[in-house]
Structure 1
Amino acid sequence: MGYDPYENAIPAPEFPISSIDFEHGGALPTRAWAHGGHISPALSIGPLPEGTKSVLLTVFDPDAPIAGGFWHWLAILPVGLTELEAGIRLPESVLRYRNSVGGTGYTGAAPPAGTGTHRYFFAATALDVEHLDLPPEASPAALQFTAIGHVLGRAILVGTATPDED
């Protein structure tokens, strides 16, 4: 497999993240794929580190056959929203940022044929602020960069998807 996108990230204490829909390193359910309906998997985040005021939730595919990988989901959750049901529609009050296709919701897995197994990094980053001072159209890089000085901990859950043709 390819590189770990969090290998060079600022070190942060780990906390738990899990899903009833897939195991760490296991296959994403079909409904979490683009052809399965773009249904986000259920996630359970925490307990969170002391002092957490929000959680930056991201889903990233570093194996996408484009420079810079593919961002599937970016949002800042309030601390009270850490049990996410499958297919959750985040409340309007949640700060959502544009993913790689320009949407502000979850975009399902869609690895192109011939590109092998893709890894989807579901990352929850505990922040010491309620929000980051960025507009919704801010890039994923700007979001990650702005969060650096506010990170209290990080949880990562990896799901996989392999095109049928591989």
Structure 2
Amino acid sequence: METNVCQTVEVSSPSFQAGEEIPQKFTCDGEDINPALEIGDLPDNTLSLVLIVSDPDAPSGNWTHWLMWNIPPLHTIEEDSAPGTVGTNDFGNTQYGGPCPPIGTHRYFFRVYALDTTLTLKEGSRVEDVYQQMENHIVGAGQLMGVYSH
């Protein structure tokens, strides 16, 4: 799915460090709002960003917690904000759904993709549709992984 020229994009958060526990505030045990994300240098030809937050450790397989596209090429996604078009997550709604593992410790990946286009998808579209339209348009990508158990 990656293109031949795919620059690494740094993704971090002022709320937690890579590989560390995501604060309760950003989970189903807290306020269930998205943490702020900091996005590093983007490729010059970036027209939009895609953000996909998922849990590969979910019992049913890779669980999508948050899906957003057509985000302007910005360097900060503020806490409790949605600066793009929001898709339907695996909870069945169009908002951020924070970490809420049924048992054990799960990993949560905040993946950012820089695209050389914007997507022509309606709000509420599913992650499969986003992946399909992103194909051959990814010019940069990066991720931040945090963990949570409750």
Q: Same fold (TM over 0.5)?
A: yes
More strand by share: 2
SS of residue matched to 1:110: coil
Matches of 1:112 and 1:62, distance apart in 2: 13
Q: Which stretches in structure 1 are left out of the alignment for 5+ residues?
A: 1-8
Q: Secondary structure at the match of 2:130?
A: helix
Q: Report the AA paired with residue 75 of structure 1.
A: M
Rounded to whole Å, the distance in 2 between the matches of 1:160 and 1:128 is 31
Distance 2:10 2:35 in 1: 16
Q: Are residue 121 (structure 1) and residue 120 (structure 2) matched?
A: no
2:111 alignment partner, SS class: strand
Query: Equivalences for 1:20-31 in 2 at 5 Å?
Result: 20-31=14-25
Q: 1:53 is matched with which residue?
A: 47
2:98 to 99, 108, 112: 108
| Residue of structure 2 aligned with 1:146, choices 133, 137, 140 | 133
Cα offset, 1:101, TM superposition:
1.4
**Counterpart of 1:14 in structure 2: which amino acid?**
T
RMSD value, Cα? 1.5
Q: Counterpart of 2:110 in structure 1: which amino acid?
A: F
For 1:59-92, what per-residue CA distance to the aligned partner results, in whole angstroms no more than 9, with x for missing partners? 010111113x21011112111x43122222x25x
Aligned residue pair count: 147
- Asked if the contact 2:2–2:136 (Cα under 8 Å) also holds between the matched residues in 1, the reply is no
Q: By how many angstroms is 1:17 displaced?
A: 0.9
Letter in 1 for 2:142: A
2:32 aligns with one of 38, 47, 65:
38
- Are residue 63 (structure 1) and residue 51 (structure 2) matched? no
Question: Can you list the C-alpha shifts for 1:18-55, whole angstroms capped at 9, x where unaligned?
Answer: 10111111110101111201111110112111100000
Identity of aligned residues (%): 36
TM-score under structure 2 length normalisation: 0.91
TM norm structure 1: 0.82
- Structure 2: stretches of 5+ with no match in the other structure: none
Tell me, yes or no, if structure 1 residue 75 matches structure 2 residue 75. no
User: Which of 2, 6, 10 lines up with 2:2 in the alignment?
Assistant: 10
Q: Which string of whole-angstrom CA distances, capped at 9 and with x for unpartnered residues, describes residues 94-118 of structure 1? A: 21111111222211110002xx211
Match of 1:119, as an amino acid? Answer: R
Distance 1:158 1:22 in 2: 9
Distance 2:59 2:2 in 1: 25
